Amino acid sequence: MTRISVVTGASGGIGRAVARRLAARGDTVALLARGEEGLEGAAEDVRRAGGTALPIEVDVADYQAVDAAAERVEKELGPIGLWVNNAFSSVFAPFVEIEMPEFVRTTEVSYLGYVYGTRAALSRMRTRDQGVIVQVGSALAYRGIPLQSAYCGAKHAIQGFTESLRVELLHEKSNVHVTMVQMPAVNTPQFGWVLSRLPRKAQPVAPIYQPEIAARAVEYAADHPKRREYWVGGSTALTLAANAIAPGILDRYLARTGFKGQQTDERRSPDQPANLWQPADENTDAGAHGDFDDQATPRSVQLWASQHHGVLAAAGAGLVAAGAAWAFGRR
């Protein structure tokens, strides 16, 4: 049967790449975002990949609108089998330079948008006792960095919320599953349209991955949702390990490198769009990729490894056995 999938923030970046990936495998995809032109571009991508698209203009910070969108999906397409929470917005600035309405708005979109999407999906999935919810997270769900306090706070909140919900579903012995995919720096349009008060253009912290890597990870998580979370990219694994072992040292390292490392050498244009309050892709289609194709990699050995624990464990056991046999034979 064709799976009915919903992707929030589907008009650009990771959401756009996820929608393409799901469509290519045969899913019918409902696309939730605010920008009309970006949504239409995403819908065309889905159709070109051979899927059926339902674009819906919605602000995920409005629960009633999100719930109404879910209701429309089920009426027009059928029961939702997969819901991917991905929509976000943010502010690039030191915390003291962020206006409180901006911080609140970031939290409403980037955290409560996930809560609202999860609730809309869960209220329908639980009655059928089946379905999958994938939360697109970040290494910043564990490790805060400078200039992104609102975004880091939202990702940390999503992490705690998802853990709580997962335990409740386990207690119910529910066949609805929720998992989280922690992303590295990804080459998406966000760096050109997130509200910024930085003197120079914002950039992802290297190493940078292409959004198709993220989309593959989301697809895999949707197909294997019993695992609590997935880490994407070697940088994510190293960051989380370093933060667990020596968070104080990481604090000082980021204090030295985190400001310069998130900015290019090019001055930021005062006319740069900001999608915090209004969509930046209302009249233009930004697609999935940002401005860093020349620096971004389309591969991740760590992602493959994280998806093949069994193979690696078997190979490791085989090497141990072979080594033991070799050592025994030398006696």
Buried b (16+ CB within 10 A) or exposed e, 311-325: eeeeeeeeeeeeeee
- For 93, half-sphere exposure in the C-beta direction (CA atoms, 13 angstrom radius) is 15
User: Using alpha carbons only, how large is the chain's radius of gyration in Å?
Assistant: 20
Look at the block and give the residue holding tokens 């940088």: 235
Catalytic residue among 151, 209, 220, 230: 151
Q: Is omega for the bond preceding 207 within 30 degrees of 0, making it cis? A: yes
Q: What residues have CB less than 8 Å from 169, skipping those under 6 apart?
A: 176, 177, 178
The total of other beta-carbon atoms located within 10 Å of residue 95's CB is 13
Instruction: Please confirm, yes or no, whether 111 is among the known catalytic residues.
Output: no
Residue 296 pairs with which residues in a beta bridge?
208
Q: What residues have CB less than 8 Å from 322, skipping those under 6 apart?
A: none
Look at the block and give the residue holding tokens 């997270």: 137
Q: Which amino acid is at 52?
A: T
The three-state secondary structure class of 181 is strand
The total of other beta-carbon atoms located within 10 Å of residue 6's CB is 31
Contact 157, 182 (CB under 8 A): no
Q: Where are the alpha helices (DSSP H) in the chain?
A: 13-24, 36-48, 63-76, 100-107, 113-128, 149-172, 190-193, 211-223, 234-245, 247-257, 301-307, 309-329
- What gap in Å lies between CA 329 and CA 323, rounded to an integer? 10
Residues assigned a catalytic role: 151
